[in-house]
Structure 1
Amino acid sequence: MSSFFTSSRRTLLAGAAGLGASLMMASAARAASGPSLPRGFEERYADVNGTRLRYVIGGQGSPVVLLHGYTQTGHMWLPLLPGLAQHHTVIVPDLRGAGGSSKPASGYDKKTLAVDIHALTTFLGHERVRIVGHDIGLMVAYAFAAQFPQATERLVLMDAFLPGVGDWKQVWLLRDLWHFHFTGETALALVKGRERTYFEHFWNDFAADPKRSVPEADRKFYAKAYAQPGGMQAGFEYFKSFERDAQDFAGFAATPLTMPVLVLTGEKASGNGLIEQAKLVASNVQGQVVPGSGHWLMEEAPQVVIPALTTFLDAP
């Protein structure tokens, strides 16, 4: 696990108020949507588990849920959507606190975030799904599978780590991962208006080659999305919840997952660490280390990652 991220380094007065709120929601939706969606996909909203989630949906067939990580939104999955939509109903939420979803003060432990997603899939009428998560999203995906194993057909974990599993503190306490502990009012004040500068640490330092990391247009899009009111605070809450997540995950691990699990990691990022963690919590794991890639698998190695995902998710 010590090799994790070794490349180191989201009345009239009442009428006027209502109009203002509507305009703010429309503006937030535009900021979250970004570039045009692939043909057959549309943006929707759902009120589930006490929060409002923005999600994109399209395609037909067995449902697949795609969960993004920190500094990103569901936008990260756009290149994957056309291929998956040929055989699947693809559901791409913005997690609570990110993109076009609401940003409440609490509920950022991964167990609760997973309940959000299960409430969404239930709302959409899906009893069983295949679920994929990258970074923070992988923690949510694991918490989904652990809490709702009968609702999980297949699980994909992409490059990060599982709090509370194995020797996880060697990752949590790595000096180069200082951002896990960079939270609170002072941190918020320091990054206000400098969201892009802060995110460059992630996009550059966790990539094998910063020039092949998150593209410039996407960097602008994500920085704007997280600069929305409450966005950076929510992002910090993902990290602050790790200790609670560790307690929850340690309990989940006592009952190993039995569904097929695919683990994809970057050679220059988590390497074998996440694969070994997955084997501690699941009995049917296949792992693949993507050569030459850092943490941003979808951006750094789409030619490897997209075929690996579609092959695994298309399996009967």
Structure 2
Amino acid sequence: MHFSFIQRLGSAFLLALAMLAPAHAQEPKSNFAEVNGVRLHYLSAGKGDPVILLHGFAESSHMWRPLIAELAKDHLVIAPDLRGFGQSAVPQGPYTKSVMAQDVHALAVSLGIKSAKVVGHDIGLMVAYAYAAQYPQEVNKIVLMDAFLPGIGDWTKVWLLRDLWHFHFYGETPLALVKGRERTYLEHFWNDFAADRTKSLSEADRKFYALEYAKPDHMRAGFEVFRAFEKDAAEFAEFGKKKLAIPMLVLAGERASGDVLIEQAKLVDSQVEGVKIKGKGHWLMEEATSEVVPKLVQFLK
């Protein structure tokens, strides 16, 4: 009887500890909002100084979970699925990065966020820049993570230099070819854009994203994001005429964007800190988690 009482007491103590556990130890909350004419899904966690995390192609808000767990200790973290991705709606268009940024801004406004720190990887960094360029008074820090800025500097040599085919891979025939083979298509990015394909995305994440991109119309949306690059370039060239003065951190994989993104960033912002992640490729959150997450947490504080 005495032993049973101790067991019950111990269980009660553990339950109390669990109830007192900080919010950041919990899973981020899944939410939906109707903003800017589109239904967006987003993850949220923590409270305090707002941080908005913007994913790239071949991923979704899911990519940010390791970072959300750390940032939520001190920040309100919002990680949306961009239009056409993840659990967000898939409108016909447009898929210019300025419009995608307007979606995210409308979400921020709906949540009462008047100023935020914005982080973007891949396509997400283009959206992050478009957000800062359109709403410079509402961004107090910005992070660009490995890709490029269309329309800035000698940008055609950046994206024409490698894998030109996938930027023009859209329309009925490409969609028919990829249908049912979404993972085969995505493996090209996960493997060939990594410094070491065996240290890129995990098998669990590959399965997760393959299912997300196999949803009706989702691959078309992904193709439209690439198709919009020429329009993005024209808009970014205009944005770039007015240089930002926002503290900006640029993280680039040494074996991916390297110096190119850092130099582009310096053309559009006067307060750039550029960091090359040695020996790593494009998938910085997965390839260099232990290096990248602390750097982001430090910069965003």
| Alignment partner of 1:114 is 2:73 | no
| Alignment partner of 1:127 is 2:127 | no
Matched with 1:291 is 278
Letter in 1 for 2:174: A
| Alignment partner of 1:267 is 2:254 | yes
Q: d(CA) in 1 for partners of 2:162 and 2:281?
A: 18
Q: d(CA) in 2 for partners of 1:40 and 1:110?
A: 29
Name which one, 1 or 2, has greater alpha-carbon Rg: 2
Which residue of the other structure, out of 190, 198, 217, is the alignment partner of 1:230?
Answer: 217
What TM-score do the two structures reach when normalised by structure 1? 0.87
Task: Give matches, 1:186-201, under 5 Å.
Answer: 186-201=173-188
Letter in 2 for 1:231: H
| Alignment partner of 1:208 is 2:201 | no
Q: d(CA) in 1 for partners of 2:261 and 2:160?
A: 16
Matched with 1:247 is 234
Q: Is the 8 A contact 1:40 1:59 kept in 2?
A: no
Letter in 2 for 1:81: I
Q: Is the 8 A contact 1:38 1:78 kept in 2?
A: no
* 1:272-297 Cα deviation digits (max 9, x unpaired): 00000000000000000001110000
SS of alignment partner, residue 124 of structure 2: helix
Q: d(CA) in 1 for partners of 2:65 and 2:234?
A: 34
Q: d(CA) in 2 for partners of 1:191 and 1:170?
A: 27
* 1:258-280 Cα deviation digits (max 9, x unpaired): 11000000000000000000000
Task: Answer 1 or 2: higher relative contact order, Cα 8 Å, separation at least 6.
Answer: 1
Task: Give matches, 1:50-89, under 5 Å.
Answer: 50-89=37-76
Matched with 1:281 is 268
Structure 1, unaligned runs of 5 or more: 1-36
RMSD: 1.0
Q: Is the 8 A contact 2:152 2:240 kept in 1?
A: yes
TM-aligned CA deviation for residue 183 of structure 1: 1.0
Q: Is the 8 A contact 1:60 1:88 kept in 2?
A: yes
SS of alignment partner, residue 222 of structure 1: helix
Q: d(CA) in 2 for partners of 1:165 and 1:249?
A: 7
The percentage of counterpart residues that share the same residue type is: 60
Q: Count the aligned residue pairs.
A: 278
Structure 2, unaligned runs of 5 or more: 1-23
